Amino acid sequence: MKRIITLILIPLFVFSGCAWFNPKEEKTDMELVSDGMDQFNNADYQDAIESFEKLRDWYPFSKYVILAELKIADSYYHIKNYEEAVAAYEAFENLHPRNEAIPYVIFQIGLCYYEQIDTIDRDQTPAKNALKMVMLTELKSTLNNA
Protein backbone atom coordinates (compact mmCIF):
# COMPACT_ATOMS: atom_id res chain seq x y z
CA MET A 1 0.00 0.00 0.00
CA LYS A 2 2.81 2.38 0.88
CA ARG A 3 4.52 1.52 -2.35
CA ILE A 4 1.43 2.43 -4.42
CA ILE A 5 1.05 5.76 -2.63
CA THR A 6 4.73 6.48 -3.14
CA LEU A 7 4.50 5.66 -6.84
CA ILE A 8 1.55 8.02 -7.18
CA LEU A 9 3.08 10.88 -5.17
CA ILE A 10 6.55 10.90 -6.77
CA PRO A 11 5.35 11.68 -10.33
CA LEU A 12 2.90 14.19 -8.89
CA PHE A 13 5.71 16.11 -7.16
CA VAL A 14 8.08 15.80 -10.11
CA PHE A 15 5.62 17.15 -12.68
CA SER A 16 4.23 19.88 -10.47
CA GLY A 17 7.72 20.97 -9.50
CA CYS A 18 8.75 21.84 -13.05
CA ALA A 19 7.26 25.30 -12.63
CA TRP A 20 9.57 25.92 -9.68
CA PHE A 21 12.62 25.75 -11.93
CA ASN A 22 11.27 27.99 -14.67
CA PRO A 23 13.07 31.32 -14.19
CA LYS A 24 10.95 34.46 -14.18
CA GLU A 25 11.72 36.58 -17.20
CA GLU A 26 12.78 40.04 -16.10
CA LYS A 27 13.73 42.74 -18.54
CA THR A 28 16.36 45.37 -18.00
CA ASP A 29 15.45 49.01 -17.65
CA MET A 30 16.68 49.69 -21.18
CA GLU A 31 14.49 46.91 -22.60
CA LEU A 32 11.44 48.20 -20.72
CA VAL A 33 11.92 51.77 -21.89
CA SER A 34 12.49 50.56 -25.45
CA ASP A 35 9.33 48.43 -25.33
CA GLY A 36 7.35 51.28 -23.80
CA MET A 37 8.50 53.79 -26.42
CA ASP A 38 7.75 51.36 -29.25
CA GLN A 39 4.26 50.79 -27.86
CA PHE A 40 3.76 54.53 -27.32
CA ASN A 41 4.87 55.36 -30.87
CA ASN A 42 2.55 52.66 -32.24
CA ALA A 43 -0.40 54.20 -30.33
CA ASP A 44 -0.63 51.14 -28.06
CA TYR A 45 -0.98 53.37 -25.02
CA GLN A 46 -2.36 50.85 -22.52
CA ASP A 47 0.59 48.50 -23.05
CA ALA A 48 2.95 51.48 -22.93
CA ILE A 49 1.54 52.42 -19.52
CA GLU A 50 2.17 48.87 -18.29
CA SER A 51 5.76 48.87 -19.57
CA PHE A 52 6.52 52.28 -18.08
CA GLU A 53 4.94 51.33 -14.75
CA LYS A 54 7.06 48.17 -14.63
CA LEU A 55 10.11 50.29 -15.29
CA ARG A 56 9.15 52.72 -12.54
CA ASP A 57 8.40 49.93 -10.06
CA TRP A 58 11.28 47.56 -10.84
CA TYR A 59 14.03 50.15 -11.39
CA PRO A 60 13.13 53.21 -9.28
CA PHE A 61 16.65 54.66 -9.52
CA SER A 62 17.05 54.24 -13.28
CA LYS A 63 17.82 57.28 -15.38
CA TYR A 64 14.77 56.40 -17.51
CA VAL A 65 12.22 56.75 -14.69
CA ILE A 66 11.65 60.45 -15.36
CA LEU A 67 10.87 59.70 -18.99
CA ALA A 68 8.61 56.82 -17.93
CA GLU A 69 6.62 59.03 -15.55
CA LEU A 70 6.11 61.63 -18.26
CA LYS A 71 5.11 59.03 -20.86
CA ILE A 72 2.63 57.45 -18.45
CA ALA A 73 0.89 60.81 -18.19
CA ASP A 74 1.05 61.32 -21.96
CA SER A 75 -0.42 57.86 -22.53
CA TYR A 76 -3.34 58.61 -20.24
CA TYR A 77 -3.90 61.83 -22.17
CA HIS A 78 -3.93 60.01 -25.51
CA ILE A 79 -6.48 57.44 -24.34
CA LYS A 80 -8.63 60.36 -23.15
CA ASN A 81 -8.40 59.42 -19.49
CA TYR A 82 -7.95 63.05 -18.48
CA GLU A 83 -8.36 62.65 -14.72
CA GLU A 84 -5.55 60.07 -14.57
CA ALA A 85 -3.45 62.21 -16.90
CA VAL A 86 -3.83 65.27 -14.67
CA ALA A 87 -2.91 63.20 -11.61
CA ALA A 88 0.16 61.79 -13.38
CA TYR A 89 1.26 65.22 -14.64
CA GLU A 90 0.80 66.76 -11.20
CA ALA A 91 2.76 63.92 -9.61
CA PHE A 92 5.53 64.52 -12.13
CA GLU A 93 5.50 68.23 -11.34
CA ASN A 94 5.66 67.55 -7.59
CA LEU A 95 8.46 64.99 -7.91
CA HIS A 96 10.58 66.96 -10.40
CA PRO A 97 9.81 70.69 -9.89
CA ARG A 98 12.99 71.87 -11.63
CA ASN A 99 12.81 69.55 -14.62
CA GLU A 100 13.01 71.20 -18.04
CA ALA A 101 9.72 69.57 -19.04
CA ILE A 102 7.67 71.44 -16.41
CA PRO A 103 6.31 74.06 -18.88
CA TYR A 104 5.14 71.19 -21.10
CA VAL A 105 3.59 69.46 -18.07
CA ILE A 106 1.69 72.59 -17.06
CA PHE A 107 0.49 73.04 -20.64
CA GLN A 108 -0.70 69.42 -20.77
CA ILE A 109 -2.57 69.81 -17.47
CA GLY A 110 -4.35 72.82 -18.94
CA LEU A 111 -5.08 70.86 -22.11
CA CYS A 112 -6.56 68.01 -20.07
CA TYR A 113 -8.87 70.47 -18.34
CA TYR A 114 -9.73 72.07 -21.68
CA GLU A 115 -10.66 68.71 -23.19
CA GLN A 116 -13.10 68.15 -20.30
CA ILE A 117 -15.05 71.35 -20.98
CA ASP A 118 -18.64 70.49 -21.78
CA THR A 119 -21.60 72.64 -22.78
CA ILE A 120 -22.37 75.89 -20.99
CA ASP A 121 -25.18 74.35 -18.97
CA ARG A 122 -22.74 71.88 -17.35
CA ASP A 123 -20.22 72.29 -14.55
CA GLN A 124 -17.61 74.86 -15.58
CA THR A 125 -14.88 73.71 -13.19
CA PRO A 126 -12.73 72.28 -16.02
CA ALA A 127 -12.94 75.64 -17.85
CA LYS A 128 -11.87 77.50 -14.70
CA ASN A 129 -9.01 75.07 -14.15
CA ALA A 130 -7.86 75.40 -17.78
CA LEU A 131 -7.87 79.18 -17.47
CA LYS A 132 -5.94 78.95 -14.20
CA MET A 133 -3.29 76.78 -15.92
CA VAL A 134 -2.97 79.30 -18.77
CA MET A 135 -2.43 82.10 -16.28
CA LEU A 136 0.09 80.00 -14.34
CA THR A 137 2.01 79.25 -17.54
CA GLU A 138 2.13 82.94 -18.43
CA LEU A 139 3.28 83.85 -14.93
CA LYS A 140 6.08 81.28 -14.99
CA SER A 141 7.10 82.44 -18.45
CA THR A 142 7.25 86.05 -17.25
CA LEU A 143 9.31 85.11 -14.20
CA ASN A 144 11.78 83.08 -16.29
CA ASN A 145 12.28 85.97 -18.73
CA ALA A 146 12.84 88.55 -15.97
pLDDT value of residue 62: 94
Model pLDDT, residue 116: 85
How far apart are alpha carbons 143 and 127 in whole angstroms?
A: 24
Position 125 scores a pLDDT of 75
**Which CATH superfamily groups domain 28-145?**
Tetratricopeptide repeat domain (1.25.40.10)
The SS3 assignment for 142 reads helix
Which residues of the chain have a pLDDT value below 70? 1-24, 119-124, 126-128, 130-131, 134-141, 143-146
Torsion (CA) 35, 38, 42, 45 in degrees, nearest 10: 50
User: Does the reported pTM lie above 0.75?
Assistant: no
Residue 101, pLDDT score:
94
What ranges do the domains of the chain cover? Answer: 28-145
What local confidence, expressed as pLDDT, does residue 143 receive? 63
Q: What is the pLDDT of residue 32?
A: 94
Query: 79: buried, middle or exposed (CB in 10 Å: 19+, 13-18, 0-12)?
Result: middle
